């Protein structure tokens, strides 16, 4: 069975070669992030932030602290996908728009905040795990939006996290989870690589 969504997933690859002359408008970047942020997050925390590195000056700041990877200077934009340590105290504010919209009854808010507190408050490792999960879900959604628009993308962990944190003014509770380059490709990118057989990775129980 196939459809447009499956075609989009099956045809995505990690791009290496981008058209260095291509740009995305700030409206396109805004739309990419808007759609990407409909990805799910734990307790609707939305504990993410996206720094769009798209000017030559900003790219020149990022490139040397990201292994001089070519997509940073050549792709239209590279997002620093930032995860924020999970903090249950923001749950009421994050849920307020749902309550206002009549999606969630107000009395349910503590039913989300209290377990979130129990899950994260005294568990720094979990707070960080959630930051990484959240940013990864957001980046994944953006990768497929980009593909659906005919754009290439490259998730990248090849960067100095301490230097990126400092250079781009991340807050104490923020983790630079990954870089994500996005833009029109130029010829030469590989086809999607074969995967491990499903029989090796799927365990039916």
Ligand X SMILES: Cc1cc2nc3c(=O)[nH]c(=O)nc-3n(C[C@H](O)[C@H](O)[C@H](O)COP(=O)(O)O)c2cc1C
Q: Which helix (H) or strand (E) holds 181?
A: strand 174-183
CB contact at 8 A, 128 and 173: no
Least distance from ligand X to the Cβ atom of residue 6, Å: 15
Q: What whole-number distance in Å separates Cα of residue 143 and Cα of residue 81? A: 12
Least distance from ligand X to the Cβ atom of residue 156, Å: 3
Of 104 and 156, which CB lies nearer to ligand X in the complex structure? 156
Of 13 and 28, which CB lies nearer to ligand X in the complex structure? 13
Least distance from ligand X to the Cβ atom of residue 5, Å: 17
- Determine the angle formed by the axes of helices 91-100 and 109-120, rounding to 10 degrees: 160
Residue nearest to ligand X (CB): 158
Q: What whole-number distance in Å separates Cα of residue 67 and Cα of residue 78? A: 14
Of 118 and 158, which CB lies nearer to ligand X in the complex structure? 158
Least distance from ligand X to the Cβ atom of residue 68, Å: 11
* Residues found near ligand X in the complex (CB under 6 A): 13-14, 69, 154-158, 178, 192-193
Least distance from ligand X to the Cβ atom of residue 155, Å: 4
Least distance from ligand X to the Cβ atom of residue 117, Å: 30
Q: How far lies 43's CA from each of 36, 47, 95, 143, 190, in Å?
A: 17, 10, 9, 23, 38
Q: What whole-number distance in Å separates Cα of residue 92 and Cα of residue 45? A: 10
Cα pseudo-dihedral 167, 50, 143, 96, rounded to 10:
160
Q: What whole-number distance in Å separates Cα of residue 165 and Cα of residue 151? A: 27
Of 21 and 191, which CB lies nearer to ligand X in the complex structure? 191
Of 87 and 161, which CB lies nearer to ligand X in the complex structure? 161
Of 107 and 195, which CB lies nearer to ligand X in the complex structure? 195
């Amino acid at each position: 069975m196939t459809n447009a969504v499956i075609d989009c997933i099956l045809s995505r690859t990690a791009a290496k070669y981008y058209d260095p002359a291509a740009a995305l408008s700030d409206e396109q970047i805004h739309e990419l992030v808007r759609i990407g942020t409909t990805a799910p997050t734990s307790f609707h925390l939305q504990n993410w932030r996206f720094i769009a590195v798209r000017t030559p000056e900003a790219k020149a700041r990022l490139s040397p602290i990201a292994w001089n990877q070519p997509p940073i200077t050549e792709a239209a934009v590279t997002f620093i996908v930032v995860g924020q340590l999970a903090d249950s105290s923001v749950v009421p504010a994050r849920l307020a728009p749902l309550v206002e919209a009549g999606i969630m009854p107000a009395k349910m808010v503590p039913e989300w905040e209290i377990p979130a507190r129990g899950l994260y408050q005294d568990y720094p490792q979990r707070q960080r795990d959630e930051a990484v999960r959240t940013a990864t879900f957001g980046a994944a959604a953006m990768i497929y939006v980009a593909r659906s628009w005919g754009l290439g993308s490259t998730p990248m962990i090849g960067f100095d996290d301490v230097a990126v944190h400092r250079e781009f003014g991340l807050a104490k509770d923020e983790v630079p989870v990954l870089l994500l380059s996005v833009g029109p490709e130029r010829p030469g990118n590989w086809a999607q690589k074969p995967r491990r057989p499903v029989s090796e990775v799927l365990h039916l129980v």
